[in-house]
Copies of this chain bind each other. A is one copy, B any other.
Amino acid sequence: MSDFTKIDSYLEQNLDHSLDELSRLVAQPSISAQNVGLKECAQLVAGMLEARGFKCQIMDTEGAPVVFGERKGRSDKTLLFYNHYDVQPPEPLELWDTPPFEPSRRDGKMYGRGISDDKGHIVSRLHAIDAILATEGELPCNIKFVIEGEEETSSVHLHDFIKQNIPLLKADACIWEFGGVDHREVPMQYLGLRGICYVELSAETAAIDVHSGTGGSIFPNAAWRLVWALNSLKGPDERIRLPGFYDDVVQPSARDRELMDKLPDVAQVYKDMYGVKEFIKGLKGGTDLKMEEVFTPTCTICGLTSGYQGPGSKTVQPARASAKVDFRLVPDQKPETVLRQLRAHLDAEGFADVQIKFLGGEPAARTDPDDPFVKVVVDTAEEVFETPMELVPMVGGSGPNHPFVHDLGLPVATAGLGYPDTRAHAPNENIRIDLYLKHARHMARVIEEFAK
């Protein structure tokens, strides 16, 4: 391992400066689901890369632009960083202790929408690059950044973007947008992501809402149509009823179970963190719970809306109803197949009137735990975190790793500043400043060791 004294010293001395830069980035809303502030944020990010001597392009897609940056280094090896500048919607606003787009620092943490997912990762990586440039005057290898603006809406256009730019994005390995420590402060190496198929289901039964005294007995009710259609997708047994849905599922291997077995039990942690009293399917904890969490495809209702939702009662029969639904997919399920199965199922069950709007999707993908690049990331982590990184063969969340793994042919490793109470996608999203610094130290080491 090289001597990182100078680099670590730079990172500590310039920490506040880097956090100020992070504050500016978080203060720029960039909500992909609501098409708010995306171009402005892309320009801000490109400016940050250019300030480090990166050659930058803001590249149009059919959705939000992608920021691409590249700077040459000593060796001819190329490390690609994948990040995203978009964030989740901040609602419900009333549950934030401080406004989501006015980053604030207290008790060793910084708060703001997107500060963990994913803006903190971007700026701490730039901080690591600053430290290398300040101490060595050049990069030890080529570095490329691809920073998209639609990760929180299922990266709808990234797959096409990558397929159309394979020479530009050519690299030898990829560091993923997120990573972090678990509840024991152990850094985790996440080697696979589930896929997703996100849809909005909607029913419309009349032109206008009707007094429920008139319509209730004889008119179709949009809310009932939606409830029955949803119920046809999954019952309390949790089995997803689309015919053929489980056909493409690759069952986890003995090696997967062995890796999961080494990981700590999460049952009590989840119960304490989320206020959940019990798990579904009779799960109690242990390896079974951990396996179920990531190797099982899901059908989750993310939102429901119809009719009167205010206080008290209103006797009205709704003309419209809709639900947001996400299916989490495992290898080798494909979102386009699920979408086809969903339409066929609804038609067959008598819900041809229920409309499906596809809001994004991507298949699952995994990296081999024994890839040499994974070893570089794991070994360097141990020095920074002072405890061995643990290997997680698959996680429950989704991301567009499929084109990186299967179109660019890269090993993808995760590293980051996340921790269990980081509240990504929820009110009071935050980062721990100690982990922000550790991530920068880790990234500096990965760049140096990878370049060799």
Q: Which residues of A contact B (CB under 8 A)?
A: 32-35, 88-89, 91, 152-154, 194, 196, 198, 200, 205-221, 223-224, 226-228, 230-231, 234-236, 270, 274-276, 278-281, 283, 289, 292-294, 296, 298, 300-319, 321, 323-324, 326, 328, 350, 359-360, 395-398, 424-427
Q: How far is the CA of A207 from the CA of B223 in the complex (A)?
A: 26
27 inter-chain pairs at a CB distance below 8 angstroms, sorted by A residue, are A89-B308, A89-B310, A91-B310, A206-B274, A206-B275, A208-B275, A210-B276, A211-B424, A211-B426, A213-B397, A216-B328, A217-B296, A218-B279, A218-B292, A219-B270, A223-B301, A227-B230, A228-B231, A231-B231, A300-B315, A302-B314, A302-B316, A302-B317, A303-B307, A304-B307, A307-B324, A315-B398
Q: How far is the CA of A230 from the CA of B426 in the complex (A)?
A: 28
Q: Are A308 and B214 in contact (CB under 8 A)?
A: no
Q: Beyond A306-B304, A313-B154, is A274–B226 a contact (Cβ under 8 Å)?
A: no
Q: Is the pair B32, A312 in contact by a Cβ cutoff of 8 Å?
A: yes
Q: Do A301 and B296 contact each other (CB < 8 Å), given the known contacts A227-B231, A289-B218, A313-B153?
A: no
Name A32's closest neighbour in chain B (CB-CB): B312
Bound CA span A6–B402, Å: 86
Residues in B with CB closer than 8 Å to A397 are 211, 213-214
A294 to B208, CA, bound (A): 21
Expressed in whole angstroms, the minimum distance between the Cβ of A110 and any Cβ of chain B is 20
Q: Report the separation of the CA atoms of residues A52 and B274 in the bound assembly, to the nearest whole angstrom.
A: 62
- Main DSSP-derived SS at the A contact region: mixed
Contact with A324, one of B208, B303, B308, B396 (Cβ below 8 angstroms): B308
In contact, A312 and B224 (Cβ under 8 angstroms): no
Q: Which residue of B lies closest to A295 (CB)?
A: B217
Q: Is the CB of A228 within 8 A of B217?
A: no
Each complex incorporates copies of this chain amounting to 2
Cα(A88)–Cα(B296), bound, Å: 46
Indicate if the CB atoms of B231 and A311 lie closer than 8 Å: no
Give the residue name and chain of the B residue nearest to A279 (CB): B218
Bound complex: CA of A350 vs CA of B216, how far in Å? 27
Closest B residue to A304 by beta carbon equals B306
How far in angstroms is the closest Cβ of chain B from A269?
11
Shortest Cβ distance from residue A86 to the other chain B in the assembled complex, whole angstroms: 11
Could you tell me the distance in whole angstroms from the C-beta of A428 to the nearest C-beta in chain B? 10
Known: A231-B228, A317-B302, A318-B303. A396 touches B213 (CB 8 A): yes
Kindly state the separation between the CA atoms of A215 and B289 in the bound complex, as whole angstroms. Answer: 11
B310 contacts A34, C-beta separation under 8 Å = yes
Q: B398 and A213: CB pair below 8 A?
A: yes
Cβ of A218 to closest chain B Cβ, rounded Å: 5
- Nearest B residue (CB) for A278: B220
